[in-house]
Amino acid sequence: MSHTEGGAPKAVLFGCAGESLSAAEARFFAAARPLGFILFARNCRTPEQVRGLVVALRDSVGRADAPVLIDQEGGRVARLRPPHWRLPPAGSAFAALHARAPDKALAAARANARLIAADLHDLGIDIDCWPVLDLPTVGADPVIGDRALAGTVAAIAALGQAICEGLLAGGVLPMVKHTPGHGRAAVDSHLALPVVEATLAELAQSDFAPFRALRDASFAMTAHVVYTAIDPRAPASLSPRVIAEVIRGEIGFTGALVSDDIGMAALSGSLAERAQAVLEAGCDLALHCSGDLEDMTAIAAAVPPLGGAAQARVAQALIRRRPAESFDRSAAASLVQAELGSER
């Protein structure tokens, strides 16, 4: 990981406000030195415009290898959409196919992820915050809903692995989410703090299991969810106990751990306090998504440079970026369409 003249990058990932960088944003990022960035629909109008924005973001911190993230799952959660980009199917389409034809579902999931990676790679985006490994539960809030890859641990793990393979083949790193599991949450953590009261034994054999199966992923994103059996006071993102005992311990994840968006209503305290809290709990990077310059300024002042074990984990994760392998885009698209009925 190269460094700017101002020192090591800070342990934070930031959004930006619009389709191009303002002079004020460029100056701020140059001074704040975030490790990288995340894009949303508000940032994405055309391929040419997105490519320019990605270059400008990297130029602002003086690192051509600064990671750029996006949530491109398909279905409801797709920042890149028609007419310029294909809209991939939601996770539920693969769940339905896997229930009747597992091998076809895995091939379709791999091909679909490879198509997504091609779109991202073309834009210079090198991390997709996907796959979703959350195990859906009856009665849970629909925030996961059709984003879930399947209804069983084995199917989620298999489809998640296929997605990771497809992304990696296309030169994009996957970031599994939302560890150690958002599937039981009865409220949307964007809006309120979910509290899960399942026993540790229940969680270990269900919710945690898909993450255990993909524990070798380069990146994982935390859940803003309280698990009372482990830490009744703090959500996973802010809980040293959940991160050490469950994510690093029970699950065995050794990669770079990124908080979910610290701007979400599940968390309390100032944004600066939230950023400090997720890092002190054991997240390697704090994620802030809104692109609000005033908020980012407060966060940047509170966040330390990336160092120690966190720096080593992030560097090890980013080393796994590799050139995209050649592939037949039309054949991959035809395979997905044939197996799922349409590209949606």
Catalytic positions, written as ranges: 190, 260
Report how far residue 1's alpha carbon sits from residue 98's, in angstroms, rounded to the nearest whole number: 39
Strands (E), the chain: 10-14, 34-39, 68-70, 72-74, 77-78, 127-128, 173-179, 195-196, 219-222, 226-227, 256-261, 285-288
Compute the distance between CA of residue 194 and CA of residue 32 in angstroms, rounded to an integer: 32
Contact 144, 85 (CB under 8 A): no
Helix (H, G, I), strand (E, B) or coil at 128: strand
**Integer angstrom CA distances of residue 285 from 13, 37, 219, 272:** 7, 11, 10, 13
Work out whether strand 226-227 and strand 195-196 pair parallel, antiparallel, or are unpaired.
Answer: parallel
Local structure of 196: helix, strand or coil: strand
Sign of the Cα pseudo-torsion (71, 40, 146, 201, in order):
positive
The letter for the amino acid at 328 is D
Q: What are phi and psi of 120, to 5 degrees?
A: -70, -45
Torsion sign over Cα 209, 210, 215, 216: positive
**CA distance to 112, 223, 277, 318, 331, per residue, from 152 (Å):** 21, 19, 33, 30, 29
Strands 72-74 and 77-78: antiparallel
In the block, tokens 């990932």 appear at 13
